Structure 1
Amino acid sequence: MSTFNNKLAIVTGGNSGIGYATAKELIANGAKVIITGRRREAVEKAAEELGAISFVADQGKLEDIETLKADVEKQFGKVDILFINAGITGTLGSIENMSAENFDNVMDINFRGAYFTLSKFIPLLNDGASVVFLSSNVATTSKPNSSIYQASKAALNSIAKTAAAELAPRKIRVNMVSPGPTKTEIMTKAGLDEKTLEGLDEWLISGIPLQKMGTAEDVAKAVVYLSDNSVASFMTGTEILIDGGMIL
């Protein structure tokens, strides 16, 4: 397929999970794709597997975002697709017992980093470009012990809608994809062991009408759809929920 021939896409956090699956789908549709990640070995390995271009950058560090922007501008010029995907769950726990360190870690990557990734890259976006934020269905829930993660995604949705309004005169579309429980490495990275993960999966599936977990590929296809001006040119400020009916 050649939907995105001569298009340059950036996927933050593209070395695993949803970012990796989306980079793969974009490349399959003809795009040249840059993936970013915090760990050099992981992002370079993923780029080699995908046929992508790797950049080591931590979305939680403003200096990394600025360096990434400068390097992309110097080497490639303009950007057509920006998928702001990188994020963490942080440590789960009650508001009463939450640490400031965990608050800062989650907000620095999920919200502040996402905000300034968009901010810094706006001058590089071609007119008619697509921006997609990875949000979550928890942005509209209030489950105990997940206050910071939920708040980070709710804040992200607010910014995405404001950006959609600001960038509309340039025909730049800004949308969100909000997965529910999805089979990725993010919970393992949160420090949960295999037995705990199995129990968590069972508990999550019990609350999903379709009685299954989502996949990274499910989300990737939605990102690609939103990035395609031939089918989604009239969509901006839109949130696509991919949660098996969980919020029904």
Structure 2
Amino acid sequence: MGKLDGKIALVTGGSDGIGFATAQEFLNEGAAHVFITGRRQDALNEAVKKLDSKKITGVQGDASNMNDLDNLYNLIKKEQGHLDILFANAGVFELGPLESLTEEHFDRLFDVNVKGVLFTVQKALPIFSDGGSIILNASVGSVKAFNNNSVYCATKAAVRSFARCWTVDLKERKIRVNALSPGPITTSVFNSTAETEEKKKEIYDMLASKTAMGRVGTANEVAKAAVFLASDDSSYVTGIELFVDGGVAQI
């Protein structure tokens, strides 16, 4: 038996990286059906193809777009009737030096990372099972300072606060809400910031040097932590921030 047997799950931002790896782990642990979302239809189609399961459904949409969220939950309600697990993973990362921050940069990050998370959760509640699990993807940036990263870190601090507050708001329904905070992970987010393979190695070496374990993590390592928070293994865990960071936020 799997840890998620019979559960209906949603992973936003599931086209690649942590979201994709988590969708795969949810399937591996027996989830009855997993919905994934992504902004790009081509990437979403490729993810569904790679996951190669009749238990997966890809839904194109932007987490910060209210119509897209309404369409998503209408589909889930029509096809499965309810939702047991929500991993609000969709987010954007963009560096921004304080001296040159723009309103566009601020709006772009807060729209997806904060507003998107808020309404992804709110609009799920009418079909969400009492006793279910909500997981918010935050970051070590919720508690650590990084150069040229103030707006992004502020969005993740807001996500951490959401987990605390929603734990209280939803306690009568026995819905657990937890934040999952990755440290440096090998994903397309960091890969896209490097123009050459040499630059990419330089970035990853720098990130690895900040960890106690001397390496960057993998998306699969974060996904396994998400399974823990989604399953009954964490039945007495709520309101926490679980760091999967190689020690970055701890030392």
Q: TM-score of the superposition, structure 2-length normalised?
A: 0.94
Alignment partner, residue 34 of structure 1: 35
Secondary structure at 1:58 match in 2: coil
1:82 aligns with 2:86: yes
Write the letter of the residue equivalent to 2:152. Y
User: Deviations for 1:151-190, whole angstroms, at most 9, x for unmatched residues?
Assistant: 0000011011111111111110000110100001112345
Q: How much has 1:11 moved relative to structure 2?
A: 0.3
In structure 2, stretches of 5+ residues that fail to align are: none
Render the CA deviation track for 1:18-39: whole Å, top value 9, x for unaligned: 0010000000011011110011
**In the TM superposition, what whole-angstrom CA distance separates every residue of 1:75-111 from its partner, at most 9, and x where no partner exists?**
2211000000011112x13222111111111111111
**Number of the residue aligned with 1:115:** 118
1:225 aligns with 2:224: no
Residue 144 (structure 2) aligns with: 141
How far apart, CA to CA, are the structure 1 residues paired with 2:196 and 2:99?
25
Task: Identify the match of residue 55 of structure 1 among 59, 63, 66.
Answer: 59
Q: Which amino acid aligns with 2:216?
A: M
* Residues 190-223 of structure 1: CA deviation (Å, up to 9, x unaligned): 5754332221111111111110001101100000
Taking the aligned partners of 1:44 and 1:33, their CA distance within structure 2 comes to 14
The question of whether the paired residues in 2 share the 8 Å contact of 1:173 and 1:237 is answered with yes
Where 1:150 maps in the other structure, the secondary structure is helix
Residue matched to 1:152: 155
Instruction: Summarize the Cα distance change of 1:118–1:192 in structure 2 as closer, same or farther, 3 Å threshold.
Output: farther
Deviation at 1:236, TM superposition (A): 0.6
Q: For the aligned residues, what is the CA RMSD?
A: 1.3
Paired with 1:205 and 1:188, the residues of 2 have a C-alpha distance of 14
Residues 22 and 224 in structure 1, CA contact (< 8 A), matched pair in contact too: yes
Q: How many positions carry a matched residue from both structures?
A: 246
2:3 counterpart residue number: 3
Is residue 96–residue 151 contact of structure 2 (8 Å, CA) maintained in 1? no
* Alignment of structure 1 residues 154-233 onto 2, 5 Å: 154-190=157-193, 192-229=195-232, 231-233=233-235
Equivalent pairs: percent with the same residue? Answer: 38
State the partner residue of 1:67.
71
1:48-99 CA deviation, whole Å, 9 max, x = no partner? 2212211101112222112111221122211000000011112x13222111
Structure 1: give runs of 5+ residues left out of the alignment: none
SS at 2:100 equivalent: coil
Which AA in structure 2 matches 1:36? T
Distance 1:175 1:192, change over 3 A: farther
- Whole-angstrom distance in 1 between the partners of 2:146 and 2:29: 38
Alpha carbons 1:59, 1:114 under 8 Å: kept:
yes
| Offset of residue 4 of structure 1 | 1.8
Q: Give the Cα separation in 1 of the matches to 2:75 and 2:236.
A: 31
Q: Residue in 2 aligned with 1:25? A: 25
Aligned counterparts of 1:83 and 1:201: Cα–Cα separation in 2: 26
Corresponding position of 1:46: 47
